[in-house]
Copies of this chain bind each other. A is one copy, B any other.
Amino acid sequence: MISQTAEYALRAVTHLAYNAGAPQTNRQISESTHVPMPYLSKVLQGMARAGLIRSQRGIYGGFVLARSAADLTVYEVIQSVDPIARILSCPLGLKAHGVNLCPLHRRLDDAMALVEKAFKDSTIADVLAEPTTSKPLCSLPLTVASIP
């Protein structure tokens, strides 16, 4: 449904939103989100290039959200690392169809539109405040900001 990479990006952003007080290092995010550190590093780089997060090199550096969690959608995070590609033209490459999708691909694209909308309507702040679950976002609250 969404790629592993997108899932990792969402976990990382969620961690950053929880710990907005101080820059979070690759290591901290990795331990909190259970994402392999070297790979997480690449995912974070991608989000930094996309402008969703900011990176700071050197000691006491790390990553912070570039915008507030209330102004960042799940959709944006996913798009930044692994875009959901809508079906814009016939995948069979039939020129005759132009912009009209055949009924099969119309259905498939409709399903994608559904998902796209659901993700656009969810901000990261919404996710953190989710009222339907009493459990915290995985183990994150247990590792909230503790810079010595």
Binding site for B on A (CB under 8 A): 1-2, 7, 10-11, 14, 33-34, 74, 84, 90-94, 96-97, 100-108, 110-112, 114-115, 118-119, 122, 127-130, 132-139
Contacts and interface: CB of A to CB of B under 8 A. Distances in A.
A78 to B, nearest CB: 10
B1 A115 contact: yes
23 contacts: A1-B1, A1-B108, A1-B112, A7-B108, A90-B138, A92-B138, A94-B138, A94-B139, A96-B135, A96-B139, A97-B138, A100-B134, A101-B133, A101-B135, A102-B135, A102-B136, A103-B128, A103-B129, A104-B137, A105-B138, A106-B133, A110-B118, A111-B119
A111 B133 CA distance: 16
Contact of A84 (B1, B101, B128, B137): B1
Contacts of A14: 104
